[in-house]
Amino acid sequence: MLFRITPHSSYSPPANALDLLWERLGATREEVSFERVGAEIRARTGEDAPVSMTHDERSDIGRRAVLGVLREVCDGTPGLSSDWFAVSAAV
């Protein structure tokens, strides 16, 4: 599944928040791959969910995986907060 990481509209992240995050993410982390595309970071998760799951259930699992990576990266980096970012399914 493909997700978009963008600045969260409810918080006031610094203008370079996405740049700071991108520097720390790398191309792959915990079975999630990342790519910088313009004003967002795209995250792709594996398709290991059972076929019996609905699209929404698979999307929720993937989104949680991306959020987990964001929290891990941000918690280990002074001056970076996972609250600054929104994760949504890419269309």
Q: Is the pLDDT of residue 16 over 80?
A: yes
The whole-number average pLDDT for the span 66-79 is: 93
Residue 6: what pLDDT? 95
Domain encompassing residue 6? 2-89
pLDDT, tens digit, 9 for 90 and up, residues 17-60: 999 999 999 898 888 999 999 999 999 997 666 677 888 888 89
Rounded CA-CA distance 67/82 in Å is 8
Tally of domains in the chain: 1
Rounded CA-CA distance 5/90 in Å is 9
Residue 49: what pLDDT? 62
Residue 58: what pLDDT? 86
- Mean pLDDT estimate for the chain: 90
